[in-house]
């Protein structure tokens, strides 16, 4: 008997349900799709009997909304029936009578299709749509996105949506044809390099590994020699056409997908691919490597220069401890001399006698001529000690400057000329700088060292150029060809002819002109200024007072009822004890989140689900694959098996999809509604120390001490669900990453208001949040010292004058309004990530008008927020509660990641990011499971006749872990055995 090979499912069960079932109606959805026009009402009134009228209205609106009719036994949501019934003055309970008459329903549906021009999917239309879908599949191979696009196109063309199986076959075909098209384009670019690409997979006789394998491995620790090793690898990659202009024909998402596949495949595995596919994957990986290596080299130079500057600061501090006493004594003497001169002039005394009364003249002359002491003073400047690092920088500076082509803004042309002067000197093998080298870029702190006695000090000139180069790369004043991170700002934005078209496709409500924006904001600003001014003057603001030009906010008292603590203990006693393996298995039974972890190449789900769950636990518990293989009781689950699953199934996109399933599940639980409606969130960074090999890749931040670390930056909803997380370096500001979580999470949460602490706030974040449609509400430290900005001079608001910084520069925003809109559309469209763009804008110097306009826009929004903060105790309390939920989540995260002494030992940022996603997925599962368990405990209390005060439920938290066994041996039991005695939520 022949066994037919089944096609792997393209969509998960939850995704298929999303495309086939009527969506949960919201007020916005009902208003948009189920509001009846006068023409609709007239058409409906032609039907006899109320049941037919209501049924006809249902068929009409569902057809226009979803592009299909109702299936047999498919009932519309009650909210839809109520909404339509209100417009028709018909009771919703009339609908069942209509639903029972199948003939009438089909007649009405056929009549509606003919009336509005809908047609069935014929063979010719099927072929047309398949051809239409191929270019879309070239952009993204993701089945969910392709299915969404296909459904939208069916509705646009008024083609009745067929069965989901038909649509999945169309998507599968489009993905296959798109892959062929991509391989063909890449094959054209690499023509003539086929043999060289194949040779990358072969092991040379005198080496231990294939060049392709060696390219995957490079040193990440910042050392001069490691920069040279990276440059060597980059030069090998550049032997191929990795910067060919024809690559622009392919979307970055497609190249990134191929590159991700190539990153995980070994040389032997790639050798088994068909030639066209094999070379496409290798070349895409080389294109990605060229950008990654470029950024890694420049990042390493940045880290090295920073480390040398820190070393010089420490050496300077040590020098001061040894010799600083003599300097202080000398400065005190000169201070007294200056005081004597001032007094002599005021009292018309002889200045020389005044000086000699402090210090004998001969001693003063000797002190002035004491060049040794003067030189000693110079040694206290950190830049003096920096010369000790010159030879280290010189090891790689020549190669670095020769490797890259730099471009600059007009303001940074002098620095670019200096870079070119050094390149020329290196290329010609000279040891002396060319005559008339550029000096205009040199800042004041460098001048005394670079120019000595009207001569250029070559060492300091080179150090100055290399340091200014790293700063200019950060700010975007200088950019590099072939970089992903250090590109021209213009390359990150949508082209000027295209962005307005994209604006129409996005859920943004950006005013057409600045005047439209300012008309509404000005009225609100004036209202709030008057409200706060009057409130301060009359003492009417709650817990806010003004004294001597300063505003004081009295902290609000804790508003938790005393009954909460004993009530919480009662519930905790009823929670079943559970092993973490059983909890994960039960959450998978409820949510099927493991279906999201598909194999990178085939898209198949793993056959042995408990093996995948073990790999997830290894990440989530911070245990590591080797230790997990030792701790698990199943002998089939070996370290090698877990490594395979980690390489091919655990990716950032699969983690995000799985996290979304868990978060969506929790948001649907009745108890979660007491904690929030899912429209509010907070975010914060949690620092983890890095240990083992990871210590070399951690970053220092004085805020957290002298040990290197990494931050896991997490967004948590008002329902205690962590819906987005990422690993970020500890030496950058949290504010740069606030928008990523709001824009790029995949859950169904509709976040409208977001909270952070002081580290998450900048004026630019205020501006971007507003134009993107989010209400930003940070808890700013020393808020009362934060200055306001107004359209009028401070004198126009006498009560608030001490709080007002300056008048707003509205003209600057007006001049850049269209560019601000283009910036917003580019971020929302995904042309550039919000965090990357925010980091570029934050680093720009003051002369960049777009960055300054965004800051000025943010000052308007920050002023509005500050005024509301002063006048609204409800806002202050809401933000406080929101941030407390994030703090509680940190405690659970710390408990979950207890293994390895709580240290993160992953070597790369990518591995650290997967660790962060794994930990937060487990945290989200615990939060969701506890939500269900708490609800069951509440139901049990009610059955036992105990009182459950509803006003106490908002004060509960699902973030406890005392009843969960997180450590010990790990084993998987049959699902029925592992289920504790709690009710299973309905699907």
Question: What digits encode the pLDDT tens for the residues 462-492?
Answer: 999 999 999 999 888 899 988 988 988 888 8
Q: Residue 845's pLDDT band (boundaries 50, 70, 90)?
A: low
Name the residue among 278, 861, 879 with its Cα closest to residue 601: 278
8 Å CB contact between 251 and 139: yes
- What pLDDT digit, counting tens, does each position of 560-617 carry? 888 999 999 999 999 999 999 999 999 999 999 999 998 877 778 888 899 999 999 9
Regarding predicted confidence, which is higher, 693 or 75?
Answer: 75
Residue 839 has pLDDT above 50, yes or no: yes
Residues of the chain with pLDDT > 90, as a percent, come to 47
- pLDDT the model gives residue 696: 45
Across 258-272, 726-740, 937-951, which has the greatest mean pLDDT? 937-951
Q: Are strands 788-790 and 804-807 parallel, antiparallel or unpaired?
A: parallel
- Supply the DSSP symbol for 380: T
Residue 4 has pLDDT above 50, yes or no: no
Give, in order, the Cα–Cα distances in Å from 775 to each of 263, 699, 848, 936, 954: 39, 32, 26, 35, 23
What is the mean pLDDT of the segment spanning 276-292?
Answer: 93
SS (H, E, C) 850-892: HHHHHHHHHHHHHHHHHHHHHHCHHHHHHHHHHHHHHHHHHHH
Residues of the chain with pLDDT > 70, as a percent, come to 92
- Name the least confident of 20-24, 321-325, 772-776: 321-325
Residue 697 has pLDDT above 70, yes or no: no
8 Å CB contact between 485 and 296: no
Q: Residue 369's pLDDT band (boundaries 50, 70, 90)?
A: low
- pLDDT the model gives residue 493: 86
Regarding predicted confidence, which is higher, 70 or 568?
Answer: 568
Q: DSSP characters for 700-742?
A: --GGG-SS-EEEEEEEEETTS-EEEEEEEETTS-GGGGHHHHH
Structure tokens belonging to residue 341: 């001169």
8 Å CB contact between 15 and 159: no
Beta carbons within 8 Å of 550's beta carbon, 6+ residues apart: 784, 785, 802
The beta strands (E) that lie in 501-579 are given as 544-547, 550-553, 578-579
Per the rule left: phi > 0, alpha: psi between -120 and 50, beta: everything else, 782 is left
- Name the least confident of 485-494, 633-642, 663-672: 485-494
- Name the least confident of 3-12, 31-40, 236-245, 380-389: 3-12
Q: What is the pTM of this model?
A: 0.76
Regarding predicted confidence, which is higher, 62 or 830?
Answer: 62
Beta carbons within 8 Å of 737's beta carbon, 6+ residues apart: 683, 713, 726, 728, 835
Q: Residue 3's pLDDT band (boundaries 50, 70, 90)?
A: very low
Regarding predicted confidence, which is higher, 701 or 274?
Answer: 274
- Quick count: other Cβ atoms within 10 Å of Cβ 806? 12
Residue 420 has pLDDT above 80, yes or no: yes
């Amino acid at each position: 008997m022949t066994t037919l090979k089944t096609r792997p499912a393209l969509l998960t069960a939850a995704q298929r349900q999303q495309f086939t079932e009527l969506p949960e109606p919201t007020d916005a959805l009902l208003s948009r799709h189920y509001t009846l026009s006068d023409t609709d009402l007239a058409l409906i009134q032609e039907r006899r009997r109320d049941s037919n009228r209501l049924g006809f209205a249902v068929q009409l609106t569902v057809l226009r909304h979803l592009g299909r009719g109702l299936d047999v036994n498919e009932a519309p949501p009650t909210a839809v029936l109520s909404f339509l019934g209100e417009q028709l003055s018909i009771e919703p309970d009339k609908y069942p009578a209509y639903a029972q008459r199948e003939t009438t329903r089909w007649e009405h549906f056929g009549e509606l299709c003919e009336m509005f021009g809908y047609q069935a999917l014929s063979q010719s239309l099927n072929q047309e749509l398949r051809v239409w879908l191929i270019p879309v599949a070239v952009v993204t191979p993701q089945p969910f996105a392709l299915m969404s696009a296909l459904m939208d196109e069916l509705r646009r063309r008024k083609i009745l949506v067929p069965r989901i199986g038909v649509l999945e076959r169309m998507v599968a075909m489009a993905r296959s044809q798109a892959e062929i098209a991509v391989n063909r384009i890449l094959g054209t670019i690499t023509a003539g390099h086929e043999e060289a690409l194949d040779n990358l997979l072969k092991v040379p006789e005198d080496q231990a590994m294939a060049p392709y394998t060696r390219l995957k491995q490079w040193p990440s620790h910042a050392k001069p020699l490691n920069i040279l090793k990276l440059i060597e690898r980059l030069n090998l990659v550049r032997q191929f056409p990795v910067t060919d202009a024809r690559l622009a024909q392919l979307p970055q998402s497609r190249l990134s997908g191929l590159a991700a596949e190539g990153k995980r495949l070994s040389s032997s595995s790639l050798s088994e691919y068909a030639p066209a596919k094999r070379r496409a994957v290798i070349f895409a990986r080389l294109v990605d490597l060229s950008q990654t290596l470029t950024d890694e080299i420049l990042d390493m130079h940045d880290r090295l220069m920073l480390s040398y500057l820190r070393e010089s600061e420490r050496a300077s501090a040590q020098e001061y401890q040894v010799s600083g006493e003599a300097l202080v004594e000398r400065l005190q003497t000169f201070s007294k001399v200056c005081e004597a001169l001032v007094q002599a002039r005021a009292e018309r005394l002889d200045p020389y006698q005044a000086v000699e009364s402090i210090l004998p003249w001969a001693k003063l002359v000797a002190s002035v001529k004491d060049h040794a002491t003067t030189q000693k003073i110079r040694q206290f400047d950190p830049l003096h000690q920096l010369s000790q690092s010159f030879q280290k920088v010189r090891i790689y500076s020549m190669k670095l400057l020769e490797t890259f082509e730099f471009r600059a803004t007009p303001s940074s042309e002098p620095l670019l000329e200096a870079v070119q002067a050094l390149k020329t000197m290196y290329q010609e093998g000279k040891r002396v700088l060319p005559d008339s080298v550029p000096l205009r870029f040199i800042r004041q702190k460098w001048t005394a060292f670079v120019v000595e006695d009207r001569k250029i000090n070559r060492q300091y000139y080179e150090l100055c150029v290399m340091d200014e180069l790293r700063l200019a790369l950060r700010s975007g004043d200088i950019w590099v060809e072939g970089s992903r991170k250090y590109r021209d700002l213009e390359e990150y934005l949508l082209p000027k002819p295209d962005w307005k078209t994209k604006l129409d496709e996005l859920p943004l409500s950006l005013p057409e002109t600045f005047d439209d924006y300012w008309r509404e904001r000005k009225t609100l600003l004036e209202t709030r200024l008057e409200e706060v001014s009057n409130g301060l003057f009359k003492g009417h603001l709650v817990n806010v007072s003004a004294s001597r030009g300063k505003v004081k906010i009295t902290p609000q008292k804790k508003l938790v009822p005393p009954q909460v603590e004993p009530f919480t203990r009662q519930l905790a006693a009823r929670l079943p004890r559970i092993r973490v393996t059983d909890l994960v298995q039960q959450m998978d039974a409820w949510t099927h989140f493991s279906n999201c972890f598909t194999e990178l190449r085939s898209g198949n789900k793993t056959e042995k689900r408990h093996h995948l769950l073990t790999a997830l636990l290894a990440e989530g518990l911070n245990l590591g694959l080797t230790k997990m293989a030792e701790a698990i009781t199943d002998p089939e689950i070996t370290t090698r098996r877990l490594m395979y699953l980690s390489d091919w199934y655990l990716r950032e996109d699969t983690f995000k999809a799985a996290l979304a399933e868990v978060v969506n599940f929790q948001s649907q639980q009745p108890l979660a509604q007491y904690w929030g409606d899912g429209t509010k969130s907070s975010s914060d960074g949690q620092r983890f120390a890095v240990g083992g090999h990871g210590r070399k890749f951690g970053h220092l931040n004085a805020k957290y001490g002298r040990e290197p670390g990494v931050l896991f930056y997490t967004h948590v909803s008002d329902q205690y669900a962590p819906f987005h997380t990422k690993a970020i370096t500890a030496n950058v500001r949290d504010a740069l990453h606030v928008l990523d979580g709001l824009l790029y999470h995949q859950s169904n949460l509709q976040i409208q208001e977001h909270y952070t602490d002081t580290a998450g706030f900048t004026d630019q974040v205020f501006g971007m949040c507003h134009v993107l449609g989010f209400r930003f509400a940070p808890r700013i430290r020393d808020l009362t010292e934060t200055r306001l900005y107004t359209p009028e001079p401070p004198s126009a608001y006498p009560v608030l004058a001490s709080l007002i910084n300056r008048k707003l520069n509205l003209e600057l925003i007006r001049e850049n309004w269209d560019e601000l809109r283009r910036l917003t559309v580019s971020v929302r469209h995904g042309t550039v990530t919000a965090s990357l763009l925010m980091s570029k804008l934050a680093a720009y110097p003051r002369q960049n008008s777009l960055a300054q306009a965004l800051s000025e826009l943010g000052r308007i929004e920050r002023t509005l927020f500050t005024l509301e903060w002063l006048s609204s105790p409800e806002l202050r309390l809401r933000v406080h509660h929101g941030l407390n939920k994030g703090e509680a989540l940190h405690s659970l995260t710390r408990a979950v990641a207890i293994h390895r002494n709580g240290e993160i030992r992953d070597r790369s940022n990518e591995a650290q990011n997967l660790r962060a996603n794994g930990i937060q997925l487990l945290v989200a599962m615990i939060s969701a499971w506890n939500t269900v368990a708490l609800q069951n405990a509440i139901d049990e209390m009610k059955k036992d006749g105990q009182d459950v005060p509803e006003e106490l439920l908002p004060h509960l938290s699902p973030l406890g872990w005392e009843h969960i066994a997180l450590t010990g041996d790990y084993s998987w039991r049959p699902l029925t055995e592992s289920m504790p005695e709690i009710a299973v939520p309905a699907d």
